[in-house]
Copies of this chain bind each other. A is one copy, B any other.
Amino acid sequence: MKLSVAEIAQRIGAEVVGDGQVEITGLGSLGSANVGQLSHLSNSNYRNQLADTNASAVILSAADAEQCPVCALVVDNPYLGFARASQLFADPGSLAPGIHPSAIVGQGCEIDAAAAIGPGVVIGDSTQVAAGARIFAHSVLGDRCSLGKDVTVRANVTVYNDVSIGPRSVLHSGCVIGADGFGFAPDSAGHLVEIAQLGGVEIGADVSVGACTSIDCGAIENTVIEDGVKIDNQVQIGHNCRVGAHSLLCGCVGLAGSSVIGKHCVLAGGAGVGGDKPVTLCDGVIVTACTTITQSVSKPGVYSGSIVFHEHGKWRRNALRFLALDELFKRVKAIEARSERDK
């Protein structure tokens, strides 16, 4: 992979300050990049590394261009510019268009000639795969699914029946889309009778689903992931959830069934959503790591609910006191009352 600075600038909409013919073969961080690599200055904490960088070119903002000792690619938002440039160097993985002879495709499917179906892939009946879609080895798709243009399904993914996936979305290995939602009705003996899960899953365009993540099908209606949602690894999304467009769900997040997440929300790692009643978060809610959201939130903002860690002994003394917190409030109230009376 080799691109000139001028080519990169044209692709990411940057202005070149310096020699546009410099050749770039990869990316590096400002402090550790070598000759031939492109770097970026997106965070002022790293500005002091600019003068000594060995990178051959740097993406930065106009304010930093003058101090750049090498070729500069000037953009308004260097981090965004770097994201776009990074995609030029990505290895898309090799998978030739066509259906691999070891793949098994069911009846009534429409597989575009420009789609790539890898070795051992198994596809059920009446499923559609659009041009540019790529399904890697041993992934299994159910019946009546639909994969939009340029969808990528990495190896060992499982998609159940009635799942639609919008253009350019990516499913990473080990993820499972459309498994049965978790719903049971206890009978008089306390045995749990399954409520059959008859809905599907709708995944929008430009969605990313991480490795080992599971998104259940809906009970009656569909589970919905809107456009541009990015979901990390080890995330659990229960039946009939709806995740709003351009929201970000970090690793190990869990959404109980019927949770509704607004648009442009961020759930940090390990956050959980679910309560006695289904929880709805409005647009623009940010939940910090390992916080459990048990009630609906109607005001955008940052929400938290975890314990600050500490050296074990000190933690223990405080944690045990937690169990007497209510009593302490009452004791303080009694002191205040006495003090008031004694005035």
Contacts and interface: CB of A to CB of B under 8 A. Distances in A.
A156 interface: yes
Interface in A303-329: 303-326, 328-329
A38 B118 CA distance: 41
Contact of A310 (B186, B196, B272, B304): B304
A252 B252 contact: yes
Interface in A284-340: 287-294, 301-326, 328-329, 331-332, 335-336, 338-339
A110 to B, nearest CB: 18
Question: How many copies of the shown chain assemble into the complex?
Answer: 3
Contacts of A319: 304, 306-308
Interface of A is mostly: loop
A173 B184 contact: no
A234 B325 CA distance: 34
Interface string A115-151: 0001110101100000000001110101100000000
Contacts of A32: 221
A105 to B, nearest CB: 11
A251 B255 CA distance: 9
B77 A187 contact: yes
Contacts of A188: 77
Contact of A84 (B158, B193, B301, B315): B193
30 contacts: A82-B195, A83-B184, A83-B195, A87-B194, A89-B196, A93-B142, A120-B122, A122-B155, A137-B140, A140-B156, A155-B158, A158-B173, A172-B180, A174-B212, A182-B232, A212-B212, A212-B236, A236-B252, A236-B269, A268-B274, A269-B274, A270-B292, A293-B309, A303-B311, A304-B319, A305-B308, A322-B322, A324-B329, A328-B329, A332-B332
Interface of A: 26-29, 32, 77, 79-80, 82-84, 86-87, 89-91, 93-94, 102, 104, 118-120, 122, 124-125, 136-138, 140, 142-143, 154-156, 158, 160-161, 170, 172-176, 179-180, 182-188, 190-198, 206, 208, 210-214, 216, 220-221, 228, 230, 232-234, 236, 238, 246, 248, 250-252, 254, 256, 264, 268-270, 272, 274-275, 287-294, 301-326, 328-329, 331-332, 335-336, 338-339
